[in-house]
Amino acid sequence: MSCYFRQNSDTEITITNYVESSGVTYYNIKVRVAQVEWLVERRYRDFDQLNEKLVEEIAISKKLLPPKKIVGNKNPSFLEQRRQQLEKYLQELMVFFRIQLPRVLAEFLEFNKYDIIYLLQDLAKLFIENGEAILSNRKQFHFSALQVYAISERLNLPCPPENIEHRGKFDFSHVLDFCTQLEILKVTPVKDHDSFASDYNAVDVPIGSSNIIPKKLKFNLNAFRNIHTLKFYALPPENILDISLLKPSLEKICVHNTTTTSINQVLLCDNVHKENIIINSPTKADVALQTPITSSSARCTNWPKINELNFSGNLLTQIDESVRLVPQLRTLVLEQNRLKDIRNLAELPHLQTLTLSVNLISDCKNWHLELGNLITLNLAQNKLKSIKGLRKLLSLVNLDLSCNLIDDIEEVDHIACLPLLETLRLTGNPLASIVDYRPRVLARFHDRASEVVLDSEKGTHKELDTALVLSALHVSHLRKKSQQ
């Protein structure tokens, strides 16, 4: 990201060429500040309007801009001559404004999109004018990676001269004041479109017409120390520096649509030796007292307030030991990943909701050893054929098994015995296509059939009557079988 304030001596403005579109001639301006460059497309009318504002506001000479031409203004030789004249015009302006760009010129050359100081001036103006209205709605705001990077870098800069920051509505203090009041922070590669929601490669696409790659922007969140929810989309978690500063306040972390393969890339993203860390299991006393969990190979403390982790839409292949660093966790969402099993969840005594839909799970053997107090479990769109491993999840209330490979009605017996189960989804399984599917499933719950919500609906009177008969027949069959 550019910083004209510090790199004005390494700045270059050229007009590379001109193009015609629908009878209008546009000039392509290339702006380079050190290693950062971007393109701006302007027509002569834009140059004329810029010049009028500069003449009015700063009293530059009106003759700097080449004059208009009515006749012959489409002639290639004239357009090339005008390209050269407009390029010289811009270069003379940059020499004149070598320390500070007027806002009108900064906006004309789109410094407010790619330069730290001028981009933050736009944010300051937004927050001073609309900050209260934005904060009144859940104290949440959506930043682009470039905006967060600009805030992070600005905190490391010496204070620019007062005439550069335009004290008043463009003052950086308005940005800091807004950020300290935020409670929910959402960061995405860009803000203009939602390609990052479905495309992992969006983070590699340059921002706008620049050569700035979101994936290469590393930043800290020092300005957001009061947030309790962090939502991170399509950006490598390693881009966040000093995330440990947020440990005292963070209650929820969401990381979506990244190439993250392991949870420790988030919970230990500050630690360069994360792969070699061995995390000690907490004792019951540690959990009760929120005692920091430490490792033998690195200083590694827990996240005392985290109660929800949402890592949907990533490339997770395992639930690694770092999950033990969130002993107060109540909700864990891991849908749309590449998980084949679960592990390390036995250290989370407060875990109540687990979402594992759209993964590669084909076996759930002895899951009660990992999920002792679970209330809600979502296993939709996996590869389960048997659910015997769920038969001892005695605290389970809600269970989603839709779109798996369950084809045997006998499998329902493994979950029908769960005393607290109220809602069950089996739609999308081969089992759901058998004759009298709903009454036959409800029959397995016997006296509790009327209490169960199957596939989002309670049983009708007719279904419950049929289920009652089937239940009696099933009980009779089991008795005869036991007597043989």
Residue 454 in domain: no
- Which residue among 384, 407, 424 closes a domain? 424
Nearest alpha-carbon partner for 50 in 80, 86, 98: 86
CA distances from 484 to 262, 477, 480 (A): 52, 11, 6
How far is Cα 266 from Cα 237, in angstroms, rounded to an integer? 6
Render 286-341 in DSSP notation, one character per residue.
HHHHTPPP-BSSS-----TT--EEE-TTS------GGGGG-TT--EEE--SS----
139 in the same domain as 102: no
The pLDDT score that the predictor gives to residue 290 is: 46
Residue 476 in domain: no
Which amino acid is present at 182? Answer: L
Render 372-383 in DSSP notation, one character per residue.
TT--EEE--SS-
Cβ atoms 239, 217 nearer than 8 A: yes
pLDDT (tens digit, 0 to 9) for every residue of the chain, 484 residues total? Answer: 888 888 888 999 999 999 988 888 899 999 999 999 999 999 999 999 999 999 988 877 888 888 877 655 678 888 889 999 999 999 999 998 888 889 999 999 999 999 999 999 999 999 999 999 988 878 999 999 999 999 999 998 877 655 554 568 888 999 999 999 999 999 999 886 665 555 555 668 889 999 999 889 999 999 998 999 999 999 888 888 888 888 989 999 999 999 899 999 989 866 544 444 445 555 444 444 444 444 433 456 889 999 999 999 999 999 999 999 999 999 999 999 999 999 999 989 999 999 999 999 999 998 988 898 899 999 999 999 999 999 999 999 999 999 999 999 999 999 999 999 999 999 999 999 999 999 999 999 999 999 999 999 999 999 999 999 998 888 887 777 777 6
Listed in sequence order, the residues at least 6 apart from 71 whose beta carbon sits closer than 8 Å to its beta carbon are none
The pLDDT score that the predictor gives to residue 11 is: 92
The pLDDT score that the predictor gives to residue 278 is: 47
Residue 293 in domain: no
- Altogether, the residues listed in the chain come to a count of 484
Q: Which two tokens stand for residue 83?
A: 């390209």
Residue 458 in domain: no
132 in the same domain as 16: no
Kindly provide the b/e burial profile for residues 276-302, where b requires at least 16 CB atoms within 10 angstroms of the residue's own CB.
ebebeebeeebbeeeeebebeebebeb
How far is Cα 326 from Cα 348, in angstroms, rounded to an integer? 8
Residue 258 in domain: yes
Kindly provide the b/e burial profile for residues 413-433, where b requires at least 16 CB atoms within 10 angstroms of the residue's own CB.
bbbbebeebebbbbbbbebbe
How far is Cα 121 from Cα 176, in angstroms, rounded to an integer? 12
Q: How many domains does the chain have?
A: 2
Which amino acid is present at 89? Answer: Y
Residue 414 in domain: yes
141 in the same domain as 83: no
Which amino acid is present at 359? Answer: N
99 in the same domain as 145: no
CATH code, 317: 3.80.10.10
Angle between helices 172-181 and 145-154 (to 10 degrees): 110
372 in the same domain as 396: yes
Angle between helices 145-154 and 116-135 (to 10 degrees): 110
Half-sphere exposure of residue 299, counting CA atoms within 13 Å on the CB side? 2
* Phi, psi for residue 200 in degrees, rounded to 5: -60, -25
213 in the same domain as 241: yes
How far is Cα 352 from Cα 334, in angstroms, rounded to an integer? 14
Cβ atoms 14, 24 nearer than 8 A: no
- Which residue among 66, 88, 114 closes a domain? 114
Q: Which two tokens stand for residue 18?
A: 């001109």
Angle between helices 172-181 and 116-135 (to 10 degrees): 40
Task: Report the chain's C-alpha Rg in angstroms.
Answer: 31
Helix (H) or strand (E) holding 32, with range, is: strand 24-33
134 in the same domain as 110: no
126 in the same domain as 68: no
357 in the same domain as 226: yes
Residue 475 in domain: no
Residue 409 in domain: yes
228 in the same domain as 216: yes
Half-sphere exposure of residue 431, counting CA atoms within 13 Å on the CB side? 25
Give first-to-last CA distance, the chain, whole Å: 80
How far is Cα 79 from Cα 73, in angstroms, rounded to an integer? 7
Range of the domain at 320: 117-274+301-424
240 in the same domain as 342: yes
Half-sphere exposure of residue 357, counting CA atoms within 13 Å on the CB side? 16
CATH code, 91: 3.30.1520.10
18 in the same domain as 92: yes
- Which residue among 424, 453, 475 closes a domain? 424
